[in-house]
Amino acid sequence: MNEYIKIRNISKWKGKGAFAKKDIKKNTIIDVANVILIPNKEYKKIKKTVLYDYCYIWEDPKHKPEFDNAITLSISQFINHSFEPNIKYLYDYEIKAIEFSAIREIKEGEELTVNYNGLVNDKSPVWFNVLD
C-alpha cells in the first residue's frame, strides 16, 4: 500500500484517478515507480493495446537505441494529466525508476496530477482530449 495515494473512479469518460490519502507537503516524494523497459520491437505491438496509454518515453542513453519506452509497475499509473499539476516526475536512469514528488502543498482528497509533457509548465498539446 502507498502511504499517500488512493485510487478511485472519477467518471465513465476519465476512468480512475489518484487522490491524496492525507495532506502532502511540498517536495514530498509520494512514489518511486520501478519501470520495465520495453524493447522497441515489442513496443510496436503494445501501441495497439490499452497499455500504450500507460507507457513513458525512456531516454536513457545507456539503453539507446534498443529501448525508447518503459512502463511502470506502480500505483502512480493512475496519476492523470493536467496542465496545472500538483506533482512532478523525474527519471532515475540508474535504478530504472520514476520519482513522483509534490510541487506544492496538496490537501487530503485532492486529485494528484502531473503534466504528461514532462515539464510542469509545458502547455504543448497531448495525444488525447484533456477532460477537466
Look at residue 99 and tell me if it is in a domain: yes
Structure confidence at residue 70 (pLDDT): 93
Residue 132 lies in a domain: no
What sign does the CA torsion over 127, 39, 15, 48 have? positive
* pLDDT above 90 (res 65): no
Say how many domains are in the chain: 1
CATH number at residue 51: 2.170.270.10
pLDDT at res. 49: 92
Q: The domain containing residue 62 runs over which residues?
A: 5-114
Peptide bond into 65 cis (omega under 30): yes
Q: Give me the residues paired with residue 9 across strands.
A: 16
Q: Per-residue pLDDT tens for 25-51? A: 999 999 999 999 999 999 989 989 988
Residue 29 lies in a domain: yes
Query: Would 15 be classed as within a structural domain?
Result: yes
pLDDT of residue 98: 96
- Could you tell me the pTM of the whole model? 0.88
100-119: per-residue pLDDT in tens?
Answer: 999 999 999 999 999 988 88
- Residue 131 inside a domain? The answer is no
pLDDT for the residue numbered 132: 66
Tell me: pLDDT of 127 over 80. no
In a domain, 58, yes or no: yes
Does 124 score more than 90 pLDDT? no
- Residue 16 clears pLDDT 90, i.e. is over it: yes
Placement of cell 502532502 in the chain: 24
130: pLDDT strictly greater than 80: no
For the record, the C-alpha cell of 7 comes out as: 485510487
pLDDT at site 75: 94
Across residues 72-91, what is the average pLDDT? Answer: 93
For residue 64, being part of any structural domain is answered with: yes
Is residue 126 a part of any domain in this protein?
no
